[in-house]
Homo-oligomer: A and B are copies of this chain.
């Protein structure tokens, strides 16, 4: 290895640490500043969408957006340069979002309107969850994630049942209320059923016939009741997750390498040999 190459290697490694990791002070600062720029860029996109503000400050907002786009592009190139396997990054979830949040701005030279796609930049906010590693939130976030993952199958069955119920009840309401009362088609009726079942209740469509109102009442009480199901599922999973993290004996059997022992276990439950306690 020539000295220059070694130097180059060090330079790349250091930059990699700053950009990709958050263990060093410089890495932390990079992540925090990146997060601020993401939030700023989203605020600018938001303000641009407000007609009155855009009419007055269009020049400034556009300039600011170009600055951010160039900064993000630099970051994107640096990310590709510093990583060992660039393609793994480019085709990763975050890599694609990073590209998509700069590209539309450049495309706006060639295609009118493509600039609107800049809104995809809001997806970059998801990076917050990566940067969250900085703080002590990580344990709590993991517990949340575990509980949700554990209740995934139950929640799927539940949502599935809710959807079938909505299709059946929506079709029924379409037959009862019909076109003249706002239930113009079966999809619209199903939309209304979900609006009612989830207790959102916009009120843009509302049953007019007596029978329709009676069934609407049943749907509401149903929705009011079955909200208990996901809540119950998640509560129990949280309780389990809490118990697991509290009472977890982190030891591994020195004989058969089984883990996940009880808190007060002194012997391995699998082979009976003494644990190190």
Contact = CB atoms under 8 A, between A and B. Distances in A.
A121 B157 CA distance: 21
Interface stretch (A73-81, A84-92, A192-200): A192-200
Interface string A199-223: 1111110100010010011001101
Interface string A135-147: 0110011011001
Interface stretch (A2-10, A59-67, A183-191): A183-191
Given A200-B223, A220-B200, A228-B235, A168 B267 contact: no
A22 interface: no
A225 B49 contact: no
A40 interface: no
Contacts of A271: 266-267
Interface residues of A, number: 98
A234 B242 contact: no
Nearest to A143: B154
B200 A125 contact: no
Nearest to A227: B224
Contact of A266 (B236, B265, B270): B270
A270 B267 CA distance: 6
Given A125-B168, A168-B125, A224-B198, A49 B272 contact: no
Interface stretch (A12-20, A24-32, A158-166): A158-166
Contacts of A147: 232
